[in-house]
Amino acid sequence: MGFINLMLKYNLISGVSLVWGDSFVHVSGPKGSLIKKKSAFSLAINDFTLYLWSDENPEQEGAYLAWLHQLIVGVTRGYNKKLKLVGVGYRALLENNNLTLKLGYSHLIQYQIPQDITIMPSKNKGVLLLIKGIEFVRVNQVASEIRSFRKPDSYKGKGIHYQGEILNLKKGKREGK
């Protein structure tokens, strides 16, 4: 009994160009272009429909399609992540290509912003940071690096939060009865 290989379909958006070779995929759109190393899968395009299949790893076809979708969304809409600075005196300032963070320590924290990422502090004293880029993994990595400077405290909730993050705060010691 042989394995029947199904082709996965994905509808391309106009304005996106997709070029592939034996070992790479190049996706370009209005926001920019990405060149990534390609795994063992095959592509075909017919009338803005992308067909994807894999002879070596048919169980990975869905993962390959999701990866390509991530690249296409990145070059058309881009990705963003919001961070919120919660604490008295916590501020973020943008100077040239450096992000200066004041997070309650005795010193300021300097963060060199990567070239493929854009960071914009909010106008209300820089307590909200918007991190933008065309690569999903890179945007989340930068957000995680910035958050690691002051993770949220489990008792008071002070620190750097992801926008919309729900914290389960612990109860402190109770004095008396």
- Domain 8-76: top CATH class: alpha beta
> Is 91:125 a contact under the CB 8 Å cutoff?
yes
* Nearest residue to 125 via CA among 144, 143, 102, 106: 102
Residue 131: strand pairing partners: 81, 119
pLDDT at site 68: 86
pLDDT digits (tens, 9 = 90+) for 95-124: 889 999 999 999 999 999 999 999 998 887
Assigned CATH for 79-162 = 3.90.930.12
Average pLDDT, the chain: 85
Residue 150 CB: number of other CB atoms within 10 A?
Answer: 20
Question: CATH 3.90.930.12 residue ranges in the chain?
Answer: 8-76, 79-162
- End-to-end CA distance of the chain: give it in Å, rounded: 73
Residue 35: strand pairing partners: 26
pLDDT at site 165: 86
Task: Give how far the C-alpha of residue 47 lies from the chain's centroid of Cα atoms, to the nearest Å.
Answer: 30
The position carrying tokens 């070992």 is 23
Three-state SS string over 57-86 comes to CHHHHHHHHHHHHHHHHHHHCCEEEEEEEE
Q: Regarding predicted confidence, which is higher, 138 or 11?
A: 138
Task: Report the pLDDT averaged over residues 65-94.
Answer: 91
